[in-house]
Structures are given as structure tokens and as C-alpha cells.
Amino acid sequence: MKLLFICSRNLIRSLTAEACFRGDPVHTVRSAGTEPSARRRVTPGDLGWADAILVMEKKHAAYLKSRFPEDIEGKRLIVLQIPDDYEFGDPDLVAQLRGRVEEEFQGRR
């Protein structure tokens, strides 16, 4: 399954998620951000590629719904509800990401 992780700037949360799941035998991953200053900004191509889109906050889901409604139609859009309170690779952030992905996709492999 192809997972696209999205946060605001693609510097901490979504980038940590990409690093965390890179090399996973079940999931292929990418990450992107919603803001103009993002390290890598989300594109329609990213959204088309993804089987599931995992955003860190409700504001990211709202952005995608307003900016890319056709590109996310029929896609599974999951709000992880992970605040921007971490540093890249923070063990608590990694634990939350792993836990939420396991919770969302358990039994769907």
C-alpha cells in the first residue's frame, strides 16, 4: 500500500513518518507539506500515487479538500491528530506514528 504523509513544512512530522516506514515490506511511502515554504510541497501527482493520505492535523485535510478536491476523491484520508510539538526523529513521535498506522491498517495487509 502506498502511503503519503503530509504536514505543513515537510521537515519534522511527515519527514519522520517517511523515514520511519522507508523499507517497510508492506508500505511504500512518500511525504510532503502544504505550505509554500515546505521542503517538498504536495502535488496532484503525489495524491494520485497514494492509496492512502495521512495528514497530521485537520487543517491539512481541509487544505487538501479545498485545493485538490478531484485528486483526493475516492482516496482514504486519515487525520492522525499529531501536533507540531516534536523534533525530527523524536522517539515519542515515531511511537505515535507507528501506533496510528498499525491501528489504521491492521488486518488490511
Q: What is the mean pLDDT of each run of 10 residues along the chain (109 residues)?
A: 97 97 93 97 97 98 97 96 96 96 75
Q: What per-residue confidence (pLDDT) applies to 106? A: 78
Number of domains in the chain: 1
Please give the pLDDT value at position 109: 42
The CATH number of whichever domain residue 25 belongs to comes to 3.40.50.2300
- For residue 94, with 0-12 CB atoms within 10 Å meaning exposed, 13-18 middle and 19 or more buried, which class applies? middle
Query: Domain range holding 59?
Result: 2-105
**How many CA atoms lie less than 13 Å away from 30 in the CB half-sphere?**
19
pTM equals 0.94
